[in-house]
Structure 1
Amino acid sequence: MLYPNSSSFTPTPFTLNGIPGLEALHAWLSLPFCSMYVIAMVGNCGLMYLICREEALHQPMYFFLSVLSSTDLVLCSCTVPRMLFLFWFNLREIDFSTCLIQMFFVHTFTVMESEVLMLMALDRYVAICYPLRYSTILTNPVIVKAGLVTFLRGAVLVIPFTFLTKRLPFCQSHVIPHTYCDHMSVAKISCGNIKINTIYGLTVAILIGGFDIFCISASYTAILRAVMSLSSAEAQYKAFSTCTAHISAIVVSYVPAFFTIFTHRFGGHTIPHHVHIIIANVYLLLPPTVNPIIYGVKTKQIREVVVRLLGGKRGY
């Protein structure tokens, strides 16, 4: 079936439905999401402030950590405030252009988070396997280029999402069963053929996730070999302890993300829709919330800076 120009079938505005089946609980559900958002904002802003303020933290590892924090801040800020307005004030309408912009930011910074975690794994690989060459390999120009490539790769791969969605006709429903504009959630309410959207979205997820996870796995395989070759158990523990925070961040980021991606495409009839929507929100909000806590607890240098600052304030 052929459709006329898709723009004539594009409703303005769309309606975000929140969490289907749990509309009566929106006010209660807003409490944990709001609490997590506040913790994420305070934690990531505090972490970026510490890294910027303390010269001892002006190292590649902490530069990548500050990029991760800024990515997390954008990722949760482009979804949570609108979700809270929906929960508190029943503000469900969203303009189609605004929906596409939100979609772009959500997916671009999701890709960026995966890339930054991969760069941090490579940083740990160089630090442990080539400690004497660490400062010469990871120079400032290399770090800046890595950060720029990280953003550009995410943006270039996500831009087609907006064009593939914009071409779709929306002639039957304009209600999005979600709290934000996710690519597949918007595409699924179209009356057109979304096969290309599905294939491209899954391809990007597999390519980026597969490539980044391969690099992370290869880095930690080499790290494990290097650590096991150390002479003493204390040296092994000290070397590998520098990676525990990053490993925890990887688990927190990838597990809910892949659950959401594959549920969208293969688990629609087996997993309750409200469960899927809750997980889709958690996977954007959980990493920004717990990453500053993980790195604050697990990273000795950051702990020492925090203790010194708090001790200095008590001294006054």
Structure 2
Amino acid sequence: MSNCRSEDPFVIIISHYISSGLAIIIYGVAFSVLFFKCPKYFNSQYRNYLIAHILSGVLLEIQMSVFWRPKVVLPVPILCANGLLSEYSAANFQAFVYLLIFMGVSALSILIYRMKAVILYVEYARFHKLPIYFRRLFYLFSFLCIVSTFLINPGLNKQLEYKLKMEQRFGTFPEYFWCQNCIFMVFDSILFILFFVSAYITITTAFLSAGFTAFVTYRILNSKSLRLSQKTVKIQKNVLTSLIAAFLVHVVLIFLPLLTYFSSNFINIDYPNVAFVCVIMVQEHGSSSALTLLITSKLLRNSVRQLFYIPMNFTLWSKDRISQNTPGNLDSVNR
């Protein structure tokens, strides 16, 4: 085709660059804190889990904003790529799936690690095996999801017949729709249906594992038999709260856009701006989650202040401060 790229409105282009610029700043601050001003309560293993999780967001940001740059042209549920590797749209979609799975693995690893860090200090913890079981299910369906991406690859690369069928449904297509960089999800194919079923079960098992992990950890931290000091419990509760908030950001900014795109294949959603917002939500959910961690975690907030040499009395709520002279480790302080 002579023209395989669609031009975005100026407002969308500017919004894209602004969101990417803000993401770079957020990731830069997050990595600087974890590498140079990491709270002394975070041991190396927990810090590495956080770094891996934030790195997954960076990789997704690069893949979506540089190499893929997907665009959904509602009401037609077609994915068009405008990035550096736009001619490999099917491969970009596969990479997107793999990066989401990597992000899910790192998020669950953080939450379960925090649960195991406090379970040592309680006599008996109910339901503590449920998060592990659901994480195993998550791994199983993640593997099935990865396998199914290879099975649907031929259907993503050869779509002439399906595009002709969709043109009859939606009317005459623009010229660039017929290019290799624009693809449909072929929902009249059993392989595609199996892929989406495995994908949404993967998301569900991740949500259940995270939910039960947070529930068990919360019960432990409120247990009367817990052998930890009140100060340590308070720190642990704040860490748990910040992780839950960050995970909820992931859930909302991933699940809702994917649900919107899935629904657009069956119902008419004639709101093109909604598609752009959904793409930005998915692209920036990693940076939004990192920002949530930096804001809601008292330990990380203090580290950000130290990074920029902001006085501790700058905050209005002195009761939220964590003493910088208190020795110990987030996993081992119990007195």
TM norm structure 2: 0.65
RMSD: 4.0
Aligned residue among 198, 206, 215 for 1:204:
198
Percent of aligned pairs sharing the same letter:
9
CA distance in 2, matches of 1:236, 1:58: 17
Q: 1:103·1:162 contact (CA, 8 Å) conserved in 2?
A: no
Classify the secondary structure of the residue corresponding to 2:307: helix
For residues 184 and 70 of structure 2, the distance between their equivalents in structure 1, rounded to whole angstroms, comes to 23
Q: Does 1:80 align with 2:65?
A: yes
Alignment of 1:13-162 (within 5 A): 15=4, 17=6, 23=8, 26-54=9-37, 56=40, 57-81=42-66, 92=82, 98-130=88-120, 157-158=145-146, 160-162=148-150
CA drift of 1:240 comes to 1.7
Partner of 2:247: 250
- CA distance in structure 1 between the aligned counterparts of 2:153 and 2:64, rounded to whole angstroms: 19
TM-score norm. by structure 1 comes to 0.69
Secondary structure at the counterpart of residue 284 of structure 2 = helix
1:187 to 184, 189, 196: 184
> In the superposition, relative to structure 1, how do residues 125 and 92 fare at CA in structure 2: closer, same or farther (>3 Å)?
closer
The answer for the alignment partner of 2:210 in structure 1 is 216
Change (3 A) 1:237 1:58: closer
Which structure 1 residue ranges, 4+ long, deviate > 6 Å from structure 2?
83-86, 93-96, 231-235
Equivalents in 1 of 2:18, 2:242: separation in Å? 23
> What's the counterpart of residue 298 of structure 1?
296
What residue ranges of structure 1 are gaps of 5+ in the alignment? 1-11, 133-145
**CA–CA distance in structure 1, aligned partners of residues 54 and 29 of structure 2:** 10
Distance 2:274 2:154 in 1: 24
Matched length: 269
Residue in 1 that maps onto 2:316: none
Instruction: Answer with 165-174 or 278-287: which moved more.
Output: 165-174
Q: Is the 8 A contact 2:66 2:83 kept in 1?
A: no
Q: Please tell me whether the aligned partners of residues 68 and 92 of structure 2 are also in contact (alpha carbons under 8 angstroms).
A: no
Describe the SS at the equivalent of 1:186.
strand
Give 5+ residue unaligned stretches, structure 2: 72-80, 123-134, 164-174, 311-335
Task: Please say if 1:166 is aligned against 2:160.
Answer: no
| Corresponding residue number in structure 1 for 2:272 | 274
